[in-house]
């Protein structure tokens, strides 16, 4: 499926997942916290405390250890896929890596979905060009469909990942988009085509603005 076809299937896939019991939605509240002149959006969801607790997975695949695939019965991102969560396989002639798109089983935001490598890769591994290209294709398709979307990658357990199989997450945003995008867009650059950092943020960060003519299917 093309990225545009995936995006068009997200609403019905979400509704079907809820109806079948494969997907759970937990209402949440959003709080805006300002620190150092930066707005941070904090989402609170007490109901997630009832989410089944799983042992912390072994995030292998570091620089000094080989990548080993987890047992199939503990990898929810391995086939056979739950039909109540499966959106489709993302295919591109320009990309050799294959991906599958699943709805997020435990959602605090409606229509929260995942981009997953079909072949097992570790969640501690960096995002590769194919990963970024497919993620960008979905964001562009979402924009063309009138949806403001945000993609993020939790690289390992210290950043909040609970599954060792490589996956990116996508959620729809409201208003002007996520605060980080608004902040990055407010910065004036002498050289728009070069990466930059947001000095107001209290951690290392690297930002690059894609030119407006960059497009994909």
- The residues assigned a catalytic role are 167
- In angstroms, rounded to a whole number, what is the distance separating the alpha carbons of residues 194 and 207? 9
Sequence-distant (6+) residues with CB within 8 A of 9 are 1, 87, 88
Residue 72, by phi and psi: left (phi above 0), alpha (psi -120 to 50) or beta? alpha
Neighbours of 188 (CB within 10 A): 5
Residue 37, by phi and psi: left (phi above 0), alpha (psi -120 to 50) or beta? left
């Amino acid at each position: 499926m093309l990225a545009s076809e995936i995006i068009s299937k997200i609403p019905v896939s979400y509704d079907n997942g809820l109806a079948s019991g494969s997907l759970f939605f937990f209402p949440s509240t959003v709080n805006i916290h300002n620190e150092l002149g930066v707005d941070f959006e904090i989402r609170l969801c007490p109901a997630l405390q009832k989410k089944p607790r799983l042992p912390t997975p072994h995030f292998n695949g570091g620089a000094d250890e080989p990548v080993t695939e987890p047992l199939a019965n503990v990898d929810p991102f391995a086939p056979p896929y739950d039909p109540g969560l499966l959106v489709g396989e993302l295919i591109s002639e320009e990309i050799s890596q294959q991906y599958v798109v699943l709805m997020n089983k435990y959602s605090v935001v409606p229509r929260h979905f995942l981009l997953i490598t079909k072949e097992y890769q570790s969640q501690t591994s960096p995002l590769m060009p194919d990963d970024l290209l497919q993620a960008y294709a979905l964001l562009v398709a979402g924009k063309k469909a009138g949806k403001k979307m945000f993609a993020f990658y939790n690289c390992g357990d210290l950043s909040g990942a609970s599954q060792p199989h490589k996956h990116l997450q996508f959620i729809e945003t409201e208003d002007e988009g996520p605060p980080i995008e608004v902040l990055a867009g407010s910065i004036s650059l002498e050289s728009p085509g070069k990466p930059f950092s947001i000095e107001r943020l209290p951690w290392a960060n690297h930002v690059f603005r894609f030119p407006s003519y960059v497009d994909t299917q």
